Amino acid sequence: MTRVRVAQTLLWLALVGWAIGLGAKLFDLVVLGSAWGANPPESLALMPYGAKYPVDPGLFFQPLSALLLLGTLGAVVAAWRALASHRCWLVAPLAAFAVIWALTPTVYWPMIEALRVAGAGKGVRDVVELQALVSRWMWWDSLRTALIAVGLVALVRLLVLIEPRRTP
C-alpha cells in the first residue's frame, strides 16, 4: 500500500470521526442544551448526567476523541510529504483538536459540574448567576462545535487535494 493510499485511508477515518463528532455536538448543543438551559434552575434537572441517564456523554465523546486523535495524527504523519504545499490544512484539524482537549478539563468540566450540582439543588442558587453560567456554557460549547467544524472542513479539503487527478 502506497504512502498516499495510507494517508487517504487515515484521512477518511479522521473525517468519519470528525463528522460523527460534529453531529453529536450539534445535537448536544441544539437539542439537549436548549432543553436543560431553557429555564434554570428548574430545567437543569434535564441535564444528561446522573443515575437517571443510562449513558454519560463523556462515555461517548472520550472514545470518539481517541479515534479522532489516531486518525488525525496518523493522517498528518502519512500525508506530510504528499501535501507539503498544503500543510496548513494538515495542521488545522490537529490544532483544533489540541485546543478542544486543552479547554475540556479546564473550562468545560468545571462549568458542567457547577451546572450539574445546581440542577441537584446544591451549589449556585441565584437564578441570574445560573442563567449567566448557562449562557457562558452555550457560548463556549458553540466555540467547541465551531472548532470541530473547522477540523471537518480541513479534512474534506485534504481529501480533495490528495485525490489523484483523473483525466478523461
pLDDT in tens, 89-146: 999 999 999 999 999 999 999 999 999 888 888 876 788 999 999 999 999 999 999 9
Contact 94, 76 (CB under 8 A): yes
Domain-wise residue ranges, the chain: 3-162
What are the percentages of helix, strand and coil residues in the chain, rounded to 5?
80, 0, 20
Residue 164 has pLDDT above 80, yes or no: no
Confidence band, pLDDT 50/70/90 cuts, at residue 31: very high
C-alpha cell at 126: 441565584
Rounded Cα–Cα distance for residues 108 and 110 (Å): 6
**What is the reported pLDDT for 166?**
52
Residue 103 is inside which H or E element, if any? helix 87-103
Average pLDDT in the 74-92 region?
92
